[in-house]
Amino acid sequence: MRRHLARRPTGKQEQRRLSVGAEPRADGTHFRVWAPSSSSVAVVLSEPGGRPIGLPAPLTPHEDGYFQGLVDGARPGTLYWIALEDGSRFADPASRFQPEGPHGPSEVIDPHVFAWTDAEWRGLEERKPIVYEMHVGTFTPDGTFASASRELAALAKLGVSIVEVLPLAEFPGRFGWGYDGVLGFAPTRLYGRPDDFKRFVNEAHAHGLGVVLDVVYNHFGPDGCYLERFSSTYFTEELTDWGRGVNFDGPGSSGVRDYVLANSRYWIEEFHLDGLRLDATQSIKDSSQPHILAEVAETVRQSARPRRTWIVGENEPQDATLLQPAERGGCGLDALWNDDFHHAAMVALTGRREAYYTDYLGTPQEFIAAAKYGFLYQGQWYRWQHQPRGTVTRRLPASAFVAFLQNHDQVANSQAGLRVHKLSTPSKCRAMTALLLLGPWTPMLFQGQEFQASAPFLYFADHHGDLRQAVREGRREFLAQFPSLAVPAIVDTVPDPGDPDSFARCKLDHAERDAHADVWRLHQELIALRRSDPAFSDADHFEVDGTVLAPQAFALRFSAPGRDDRHDSFADRLLVVNLGIDTLLDVLPDPLLSPYPGRQWRTLWSSEDPSYGGAGTPDLVQPDGWRLPPECALVLAPEQA
């Protein structure tokens, strides 16, 4: 016998924490759904597998296209569908969990069950964090929140301060990067349940690590997205690189904006996250005031108070106005990824200038400019895109620019997903790692970089049928922009993103930390030096200047402004990087290289230390001048003569 689910009249607006989704209470669960394209909305309880139980419980229509109501029979753990006027059933657009994936029913989740122990956590105290990008599914062989939690102690010992987790929004299939998410409030079932992610965050905080989540507000995935059935105004006709754009400023956009702002609040409040990483912000079009990104940033900060958060954006055109406060026409983000630094570094490390590396030389001047100004392109003509690139970064702190040698995109953007150490020499990699971790920017490591993981990082996505074939062909077309790859013998060997082996090959083996202990020690000691030495840890308040020493060598000087000759030598450092051959500098005409009176430079640290696998470093200062070892980075400090 089918039973009818009682729905209680709601009268005035029910007191809710979030504007959408299912919120359990003592007397049932309150549902609120934005569905202006439907004249009626109901909740249908479900058995595992999707079979409906009982009759639909209709929700009461409210203004602006919302429907809401309290359903007696729904409790935490209850599976349910949202039914529209034509009888079609879908997952709740604001579902908190999808145990059977995006095509299955949603589950009511009680956000108050998890017992947090991070009451003493005050957020991100460090001005310039060390960021660590992680894909949960490949970070460990098990690929779960639980197994990732067991590795957090090692990251804390390494010196990491923020773990930046790739997107978790539910997506179809058995594996994927997470950028094809379709249900933004539901942590994917592939890595565990919502409380497992909370346990991961709680454990991270216990180790002094912040957690930032990568969120995708610029598009939704192509499979399992039913938002348009709830409202035809979710999307615009303008196409992005990933499909139709999201409607943030057109007719009917109020519910879309509300969905995104509720989502940003949800991750911060319910999961105690320490910030967000905003994917592909160049594809988030909004002519409104304030801009949706400014509202997201403000929502994150308000939701976390008094905890300090960190909001970082990806922006391929490098629009630095995103870093300006909203009252000055910006969006108030804390940082942006700096692709310019990466591209210059890759050219210096590999010698290859093709595709989007075409407009970079890998020269000392580029690294000096990156240290002083952040982006290299700030409106100059960019041949690769046949248009100007970047905007002016004046008066922005160096910490606002995130530098990296690897990230998920850049490692995968090769035929075999090779990491940097497979593409360059060990000594060059050590020297460039020193520049990355000691430079005035905010450095970011990609999972496994700290011990030169042997696992590649490929593009993988578990789609089926025509979509799988389209993704495979799209990947080949993308890689064809690299002339060195655009030959049949190589293109034909591009791993199939839909092959489970493409995913399995990317899983890290953390036992390699011991096998490559010298590389891990290099990263750990550089991070420790950055933290302990104020010239590196607080470079926003130090003057950073640089000079070219040789065709592939340069120096960056970190010094405290306004100090006289008697200043503490601890506040003056010279970072010397030589990516070329052994070089004798028999004349030193640049005053930037001069120590203070009565002092001389001594080597404080060297990338060629034998404990890192290096060949050893002779004294830099020789009777005939400075002798720069090949492919080496040195930190010099003044000492009493």
Tallying the residues shown for the chain, one arrives at 641
* pLDDT above 90 (res 448): yes
Among 507, 532, 557, which residue terminates a domain? 532
pLDDT of residue 568: 53
Query: 88 and 145 in one domain?
Result: no
pLDDT higher than 90, residue 475 = no
Predicted confidence at residue 4, as pLDDT, reads: 36
Catalytic residue among 23, 170, 279, 512: 279
pLDDT tens for 400-429 read: 999 999 999 999 988 789 999 999 999 999
- Tell me if 266 is assigned to some domain: no
Residue 281 and residue 339 in contact, taking contact as beta carbons nearer than 8 Å: no
Same-domain check for residues 580 and 634: yes
- Is the pLDDT reported for residue 306 higher than 80? yes
80 and 22, same domain (yes or no): yes
Mean pLDDT for 176-192 is 98
- What per-residue confidence (pLDDT) applies to 627? 93
Residues 18, 299: Cα–Cα separation, whole Å = 12
Above 80 in pLDDT, residue 336?
A: yes
Q: Clarify whether residues 518 and 548 are in a common domain.
A: no
Residue 159 lies in a domain: yes
In the set 195, 295, 314, 608, the catalytic residue is 314
Report which of residues 182 and 327 the model is more confident about.
Answer: 182
- pLDDT tens digit string along 216-275? 999 999 999 999 999 999 999 888 888 889 999 999 999 999 999 999 999 999 999 999
Distances (CA, A) of 51 to 45, 74, 526: 9, 16, 57
Report the CATH number that the domain containing residue 502 is assigned in CATH.
Answer: 3.20.20.80
In the prediction, which pLDDT does 10 show? 43
Higher pLDDT among residues 472 and 98, named by residue: 98
Alpha carbon distance 173, 101 (integer Å): 8
Q: 526 and 546: one domain?
A: no
Domain containing residue 633: CATH number: 2.60.40.1180
Q: Are residues 93 and 195 in the same domain?
A: no
CA distance 595 to 65: 69
Res 8 pLDDT > 60: no
> How is residue 513 written in tokens?
């930390």
In a domain, 65, yes or no: yes
For residue 463, give its domain range.
130-215+405-532
How much is the mean pLDDT over the chain? 93
pLDDT of residue 243: 82
pLDDT tens, 427-444?
999 999 999 999 999 999
- Residues 546, 444 share a domain: no
In this prediction, residue 496 has a pLDDT band, given cuts at 50, 70 and 90, of very high
Q: Say whether pLDDT at 598 is over 80.
A: no
pLDDT confidence of residue 439: 97
Q: In which band, very low, low, confident or very high, does the pLDDT at 605 lie, cut at 50, 70 and 90?
A: very high
CB 281 within 8 A of CB 303: no
Question: Is the same domain home to 503 and 571?
Answer: no
Q: Are residues 527 and 552 in the same domain?
A: no
In three-state secondary structure terms, 339 is helix
pLDDT at 576 > cutoff 70: yes
Task: Determine the pLDDT at residue 427.
Answer: 98
Per-residue pLDDT at 98 exceeds 60: yes
Structural domains of the chain, count: 3
The answer to whether residue 220 sits within a structural domain is no
Q: In whole angstroms, what is the distance from residue 36 CA to residue 42 CA?
A: 13
Q: What is the pLDDT of residue 599?
A: 84
Is residue 46 scored above 70 in pLDDT?
yes
Q: Of 73, 107, 141, which marks where a domain is finished?
A: 107
User: Within a domain: residue 612?
Assistant: yes
Token code pair at residue 146: 């639980």
- Judge whether residue 394 has pLDDT over 70: yes
Question: Quick check: 6 pLDDT over 60?
Answer: no
* Span 547-568, average pLDDT: 80
In a domain, residue 571? The reply is yes
Residue 518, in any domain of the structure: yes
For residue 314, indicate whether it is catalytic: yes
Given pLDDT bands bounded at 50, 70 and 90, which one contains residue 565?
A: very low
Give the pLDDT mean for 450-465: 96
Domain match, 587 and 606 both: yes
Q: Is the pLDDT confidence value at 5 over 50?
A: no
pLDDT at 180: 96
Residues 137 and 102 occupy one common structural domain: no
| Residue 562: predicted pLDDT | 57
pLDDT band per the 50, 70, 90 thresholds, residue 624: confident
527 and 551: one domain? no
Instruction: Assess contact for 632 and 583: CB atoms under 8 A.
Output: no
Residue 98's domain is classified under what CATH number? 2.60.40.10
pLDDT of residue 619: 86
Answer yes or no: is 180 within a domain: yes
Judge whether residue 566 has pLDDT over 60: no
Looking up tokens 């001005």 gives 127
Is there a contact between 176 and 169 (Cβ–Cβ < 8 Å)? no
**How many Å separate Cα 169 from the centre of its chain?**
14
CA distances from residue 431 to 345, 527, 610, 614 in whole angstroms, order as listed: 11, 14, 14, 10
Instruction: Examine the fold and report which residue of 43, 73, 107 is the final residue of a domain before the chain moves on.
Output: 107
In angstroms, the Cα distances linking 448 to 158, 167, 574 are 12, 18, 29
Peptide bond into 290 cis (omega under 30): yes
Give the pTM.
Answer: 0.95
